[in-house]
Chain A
Amino acid sequence: MFMVEKALVGSRRYWLWVGGLLAVIGLSFIAYLYQLSHGLGVTGMSRNVSWGLYIGQFTFMVGVAASAVMVVLPYYLHNHKEFARMTVLGEFLAVSSVTMCMLFVFVDMGRPMRVFNVFLYPQFHSVMFWDMLSLSGYLLINAAITLVSLHAEQSDLHPPRWIKPIILLSIPWAISIHTVTAFLYAGLPGRMSWRTPIMAPRFLASAFAAGPALLILLCLLLRKLTGYDVGKKAIQGLSVIVTYAMAINVFFILMQLFTAMYSNVPGLTEEFQDLYLGTEAHTSLLPWGRISLLLMVVALILLLIPKVRHNERTLAAACVLVFSSLWIDKGVCMVVCGFITSPLGTITRYVPTLPEMTITLGVWAVGAIMVTVFYKIALSVEIAREAPAAAAYEFAERSAAAGHAEILSSPGATGGSHA
């Protein structure tokens, strides 16, 4: 396949990392087979909390996928040349996260063999149909863009002209995937904590904070481990985006909080009691909600201080905070929060089980391996192109030697430890 051979050379640490990921995938595959034969009853989900970690992770990853637009848009629409080296990394991250999204939906299905029924009997009134459609479309678009532009770079040509409109199309499409995902929740009459028009804007804001934060971390690690530098300006540019998005996200939360607490309508306050304030009965989400909120606020304060942002060490720390706080907020709390109080007023605890967490970790490992391989291919193409012809050889050698670059740069390293 396309340039796969570039991913097949690497140092010992590269192979150790890839091997480790493969082992995790293998283990989680066994867990999946167990779930397949025993039913979804092996997870912590229940009659009342009927969606859990899988769908939460799915929602979070849709955000990471959509956030590629935050490098594509400035680069192509506003001619921010400093993002040149970063766009392809962003797009590869998008491809990997969309794949993870699809896997998360798949492992959540009760009868996965029947998945094609979605396409055999399409229901235009179902948001899920549109979500599937927009996600598959987004995957195709980004796969096409990355392949074509890498190919062009490798042969030192300009990318063909027909790819430009597709790149432009990817911008509104990225917005659409997360908007439709928000509609998935916001359109349900009975779930008060989801049924708010701010769902889509808040999803987008948190996505545009978490995704670019992850990208910053990946770029910093790439530089540290392979010497490949996307440029300080690019990182600083992204960090401004993260700051704005995080500020807007926190602002949206405060707006929701005000509306709920001041109006004092029970259906609205419930969510925030579950997450932040606490009542006698609602306890299982409380620590998660509070930690997430605390991390969000700390991250925002850090990001707002220019000095902190300009120093890449502290920036990295802030990005870790951004990413993990939003991972908890969206990947754990958001979905479960809608189910904690059942339509009949029962409060149900939800704790993911070991098989469930193993499967989740496995999907993250798939994403990590995709990012590793994609970045390796991208780097060897870029580096070979940029180095003078004579040095190209040596460079390829060096990058192979430093192939462990990706060890820490994969999302698995950040997300897995929470799962």
Chain B
Amino acid sequence: MKFTRREFVELSGACLVALSGRKVLAVFTGAKESEAASTGEATSTKKRLGMLIDTKKCLRAQNCTKCIEACDQAHNIPVFQNPAHQIKWIWEEPFDDLFSPAETQYLEKDRKDVLTPVLCNQCDEPPCVRVCPTGATWKREADGIVMMDWHRCIGCRYCMAACPYGSRSFNWVDPRTGLKTLNPDFPTRTQGVVEKCTFCAERLDKGQLPACVEACPEKAMVFGDLNDPQSEIRQLLASSYALRRRPELGTGPNVYYLI
């Protein structure tokens, strides 16, 4: 029998209930939830959106930050000089910080320091969703996007502690103070909520690609449905070796790096 983490968490929850002898009801709702989840996983008609970043193509255009600019523009991401307050949905990090340092030991320095885009991995088992006390972040059943509801977030930042990728940012100050122009197509956020990339859920609904994918001049980012064997992303993953960030944590990241 496979004992998933979700079941484990629910079981511990149930034990807590039994231990203190209250909210017996919660056990039943918990049990129902897990039933729904297991039947949901059995049907594979659902999408699982994912992204593949070809670092070789990305390397061809050093100093290119078009994906980041497109995202910042599309989502009203403020610019703060103080690194403590920065908001990042997609940003770049030196290549060797993405993966275990041991693996890049003998890499040439300038290969090591190649700036590589990072963003929310839209995990299969997102720890941020597991810990959120209000359901302000959740995993969308239909396509697997880890969504944010900025109307509900209470700003406790538990999700930031939980995310093993540093993909979440908190609005330490009013974000509008860091914006020169406002894009009316997407709301800004407000002081005191957490935010992150949502694979441009609002653009996908209109049939568009994520802003970063669309903006990449090298076509280094491939976006698609990982559940569809015919999709371009699956074809690429079938024929080449790709890495994911910290897969050993069991979070099931859906952003792949071709190296």
Task: Point out residues on A near B: beta carbons under 8 Å.
Answer: 38-41, 45-48, 50-51, 105, 108-112, 114-115, 117-118, 120-121, 123-130, 132-134, 137, 172-173, 176, 180, 183-185, 187-191, 338-339, 342-345, 348
B153 A38 Cβ-Cβ under 8 A:
no
Q: Which of B12-20, B68-76, B205-213 contacts A (4 or more CB under 8 A)?
A: B12-20
Q: Given the interface contacts A118-B134, A123-B134, A128-B131, does A191 sit within 8 Å of B161 by beta carbon? A: yes
Segment 16-63 of B: residues with Cβ below 8 Å from A? 16, 19-20, 22-23, 26, 29-30, 33
- The contact of A124 among B29, B136, B158, B172, by CB within 8 Å, is B29
Q: What are the 8 A-B residue pairs with the smallest beta carbon separation, nearest first?
A: A110-B155, A190-B164, A110-B192, A46-B84, A41-B172, A41-B173, A128-B133, A343-B166
Contact residues in B for A185 (Cβ distance below 8 Å): 161
B164:A125 contact, CB within 8 angstroms: no
What residues of chain A lie closer than 8 Å to B131, measured between beta carbons? 126-128, 187-188
Given contacts A110-B154, A110-B157, A110-B191, contact A134 B174 (CB under 8 A): no
Q: Are A46 and B93 in contact (CB under 8 A)?
A: no
List the A residue with the shortest CB-CB distance to B12: A183
Residues in B neighbouring A172, C-beta threshold 8 A? 19-20
CA separation between A179 and B133, bound complex, in Å?
18
Cα of A132 to Cα of B134 in the assembled complex, Å = 12
Q: Known contacts A46-B172, A132-B133, A189-B250; decide if A115 and B127 are in contact (CB<8 Å).
A: no
Query: Apart from A137-B20, A190-B127, what 15 extra A-B contacts exist at CB < 8 Å?
Result: A41-B172, A47-B88, A47-B172, A50-B160, A110-B171, A110-B191, A111-B192, A121-B152, A126-B158, A128-B156, A172-B19, A176-B16, A189-B127, A190-B165, A343-B163
Subset of 21 A-B contacts with CB under 8 Å: A40-B155, A45-B84, A46-B83, A47-B84, A47-B88, A47-B170, A108-B156, A108-B157, A110-B153, A111-B192, A115-B154, A117-B154, A118-B154, A120-B134, A121-B134, A123-B133, A123-B135, A126-B130, A190-B249, A343-B165, A345-B97
B150 to chain A, nearest CB (A): 10
With contacts A110-B156, A117-B134, A172-B20 taken as known, whether A342 is within 8 angstroms of B162 at the C-beta atoms is: no
A172, closest chain B residue (CB): B19
The answer to whether B165 touches A50 (Cβ under 8 A) is no
The residue among A38, A41, A133 with the most chain B CB atoms within 10 A of its own CB is A41
Hey, which chain B residues are within 8 Å of A129, CB to CB? 133
CA separation between A173 and B136, bound complex, in Å?
A: 29
> Do A46 and B85 touch across chains, with their CB atoms under 8 A apart?
yes
- How far is it, in angstroms, between the C-alpha of A338 and the C-alpha of B160 when the chains are bound? 12
Q: Which residues in A have their C-beta under 8 angstroms from that of B161?
A: 50-51, 185, 188, 191, 338-339
Q: Are A39 and B133 in contact (CB under 8 A)?
A: no
Residues of B133-190 contacting chain A, CB below 8 A: 133-136, 152-158, 160-166, 169-174, 190
Cα distance A111–B172 when bound, in Å?
11
Q: How far is the CA of A176 from the CA of B161 in the complex (A)?
A: 22
Docked complex Cα distance between A203 and B259 (Å): 43
The interface of chain B, by Cβ under 8 A from chain A, is 6, 9-10, 12-13, 16, 19-20, 22-23, 26, 29-30, 33, 83-86, 88, 93, 97-98, 101, 118, 127, 130-136, 152-158, 160-166, 169-174, 190-194, 246, 249-251
A188 touches B127 (CB 8 A): yes
CB of B16 within 8 A of CB of A39, answer no
Contacts of A190 in B (CB 8 A): 127, 162-165, 246, 249
- The distance from the CB of B142 to the nearest CB of chain A, in whole angstroms, is 20
Contacts of B155 in A (CB 8 A): 40, 109-111, 114
How many A-B contacts are there with CB distance less than 8 Å?
163
Determine the chain B residues whose CB is within 8 A of the CB of A38 once the complex forms: 173
Whether A180 and B16, one on each chain, are in contact in the complex, defined by CB atoms closer than 8 angstroms, is yes
CA distance A413 to B15 in the complex (A): 39
CA distance A129 to B191 in the complex (A): 23
A188-B127, A189-B250 given; A343·B164 CB < 8 A = yes
Residues of the A chain whose Cβ atoms lie less than 8 Å from the Cβ of B166: 47-48, 342-344
| In-complex Cβ contact of B251 among A108, A124, A189 (8 A) | A189
* B167 to A, closest residue via Cβ: A343
Name the residue on A nearest B8 (C-beta): A187
A40–B97 contact, CB under 8 A? no
Determine the distance from Cα of A187 to Cα of B8 in the docked complex, in whole angstroms. Answer: 11
Across the interface, which residues of A come within 8 angstroms of B192, CB to CB? Answer: 39-40, 109-111
User: In the complex, A111→B134 CA distance in Å?
Assistant: 12
For A51, the chain B residues whose CB sits under 8 A away are 157, 161
Smallest CB gap from A194: residue in B: B161
- Which of chain A's residues has its CB closest to B135's CB? A121
Residue of A nearest to B250 (CB): A189
Asked if B134 and A189 make an inter-chain contact with CB atoms under 8 angstroms apart, the answer reads: no
Q: How far is the CA of A128 from the CA of B172 in the complex (A)?
A: 21
Closest to B166 in A: A343
Do A126 and B133 touch (CB < 8 A)? Answer: yes
The residues of A that contact B23 with a CB separation of less than 8 Å are 133
What residue in chain A is nearest B153 (Cβ atoms)?
Answer: A111
Cα–Cα distance between A108 and B156 once the two chains are bound (Å): 7
What CA separation (Å) do A362 and B202 show in the bound complex? Answer: 44
- Inter-subunit contact B172/A45 (CB<8 Å): yes
Which residue from chain A places its CB closest to the CB of B194 in the assembled complex? A110
User: Quick one: given A39-B172, A46-B84, are A130 and B156 in contact (CB under 8 Å)?
Assistant: no
Give Cα A134–Cα B160 distance, bound, in whole angstroms: 23
Q: Is the CB of A125 within 8 A of B97?
A: no
Contact of B156 among A109, A180, A187, A343 (CB under 8 A): A109
Which residues of A sit under 8 angstroms from B191, Cβ to Cβ? Answer: 39, 110
CB of B83 to closest CB in A, whole Å: 7
- Residues in A with CB closer than 8 Å to B16 are 130, 176, 180
A140 to chain B, nearest CB (A): 12
